[in-house]
């Protein structure tokens, strides 16, 4: 049988069958319908002879992997966060790297706000209490909690998702919005939300509800640790929808346990899907399994964008969300 002239690609995880079909129109596709998590050696093996990889946050692409997979020309993440990809190593080897920004902004902001509310208003704690049959009568101070409306919302990382959360807080809940980010927003973005840029320490001291939405990197590892938590109000809450590694989970668990922080809402965890047992044991932690972008429409839009990136990259077009534009147009490695 004659070898196919189409580029060969790997789809590392189970995704929408319609998206796999679309990729099959352009490529020889090696997919993963059983959704087996590929160990590193299996990933390297499956990437032999492949020009492209459709990956998710579960697959790590670093220099050693790239060196072991010399045919690779594009790695396309079905995620906006790309801390699983060493973009510099990709660029050094002429490999295009892409992510899926924009399409998940509102859905992820919805979940962030839901977790903020669950933590602040003790929703998951109350539900567990009820399901355990412990609710026998109303008392005036049962599950008493801080208010969300009219309080101060603190946002660490004011990109697209941070701004979408700020909109929900300012326009829907009358919250005062303060934020910290490397760069200040343009005045026309700050003004409608009355959002105020503050130093990180001011943010931590002044906010009632803190939401973490900054990208994860070596620089932001444990951006919130014991010292930062100590600056926060004891009645404050912390919500993390970025990456688990932004928070020192042992320090967070200690603060929640000691009542130095009222509650936390966490969608992401440092060793996920393994969860720190100290967090598991805490009633005042609302925990969800990394579902920030998990609406059907958004997940489909993410898969479509990752596929569009892969098709463009391997068909000589500029991928719509290319992380290393300097690589575009390089054909030899």
Q: Which of 46, 167, 272, 300 is catalytic?
A: 272
78 binds ligand 8YV (CB under 6 A): yes
The CA-atom distances, in angstroms, between 45 and each of 40, 41, 85, 91, 310 are 9, 6, 18, 22, 20
Asked if 66 interacts with ligand 8YV (CB under 6 A), we say: no
How many C-beta atoms surround the C-beta of residue 185 within 10 A? 18
Task: Considering only residues 91 through 130, tell me which ones interact with ligand 8YV, judged by CB under 6 A.
Answer: 104
**15 lies in the binding site for ligand 8YV (CB under 6 A):** no
- Choices 43-51, 63-71, 72-80, 129-137 (CB under 6 A): range interacting with ligand 8YV: 72-80
Q: Which residues pair with 8 in a beta bridge?
A: 28
Q: Is 274 helix (H, G, I), strand (E, B) or coil?
A: coil
d(CA 12, CA 36): 9
Q: Which of 20, 80, 153, 312 binds ligand 8YV (CB under 6 A)?
A: 80
- Among the listed residues 24, 221, 290, 300, the single catalytic one is 290
Residue 128 among the catalytic residues? no
- Residue 243 is a catalytic residue: yes
- Of 22, 243, 249, 270, which is the active-site residue? 243
Q: Which span sits near ligand 8YV by CB under 6 A: 16-24, 28-36, 41-49, 77-85?
A: 77-85
Name, in order, each residue with C-beta under 8 angstroms of 99's C-beta and a sequence gap of 6 or more: 77, 79, 80, 81, 82, 321, 323
> How many beta carbons lie within 10 A of that of residue 139, not counting itself?
8
The token pair at 213 is 């939405």
272 is catalytic: yes
Indicate the residue among 57 and 185 with the shorter CB distance to ligand 8YV: 57
Q: Point out which residues pair with 179 in neighbouring strands.
A: 155, 197
Q: Select 47 or 104, whichever has its Cβ closest to ligand 8YV.
A: 104
CA 235, CA 171: separation in Å to the nearest integer? Answer: 23
Q: Which residues bind ligand 8YV (CB under 6 A)?
A: 56-57, 78-81, 104, 292-293
């Amino acid at each position: 049988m004659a070898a196919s002239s189409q580029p060969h690609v790997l789809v590392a995880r189970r995704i929408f069958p319609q998206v796999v079909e679309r990729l099959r129109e352009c490529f020889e596709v090696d997919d993963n319908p059983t959704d087996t998590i590929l160990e590193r050696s299996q990933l390297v093996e499956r990437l032999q002879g492949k020009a492209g990889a459709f990956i998710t946050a579960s697959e790590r692409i670093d220099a050693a992997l790239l060196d072991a997979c010399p045919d690779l020309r594009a790695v396309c993440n079905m995620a906006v966060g790309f801390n699983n990809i060493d973009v510099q190593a990709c660029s050094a080897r002429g490999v295009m790297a892409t992510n899926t920004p924009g399409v998940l902004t509102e859905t992820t902001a919805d979940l962030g706000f839901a977790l903020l509310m669950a933590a602040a208003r003790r929703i998951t704690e109350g539900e567990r209490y009820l399901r355990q049959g412990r609710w026998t009568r109303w008392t005036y101070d049962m599950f008493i909690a801080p208010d969300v409306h009219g309080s101060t919302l603190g946002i660490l990382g004011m990109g697209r998702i941070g701004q979408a959360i700020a909109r929900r807080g300012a326009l829907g809940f009358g919250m005062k919005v303060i934020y910290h980010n490397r760069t200040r927003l343009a005045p026309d973005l700050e003004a409608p939300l009355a959002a105020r840029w503050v130093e990180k320490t001011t943010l931590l001291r002044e906010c009632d509800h803190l939401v973490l939405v900054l990208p994860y990197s070596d620089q932001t590892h444990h951006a919130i640790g014991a010292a930062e938590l100590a600056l926060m109000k004891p009645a404050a809450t912390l919500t993390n929808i970025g990456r688990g590694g932004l928070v020192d989970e042992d320090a967070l668990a200690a603060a929640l346990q000691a009542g130095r922080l009222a509650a936390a809402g966490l969608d992401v965890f440092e060793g996920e899907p393994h969860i720190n047992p100290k967090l598991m044991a805490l009633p005042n932690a609302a925990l969800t399994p990394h579902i920030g972008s998990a609406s059907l429409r958004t997940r489909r839009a993410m898969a479509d964008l990752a596929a569009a990136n892969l098709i463009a990259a391997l068909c000589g077009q500029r991928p719509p969300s290319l992380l290393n534009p300097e690589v575009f147009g390089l054909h030899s490695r």
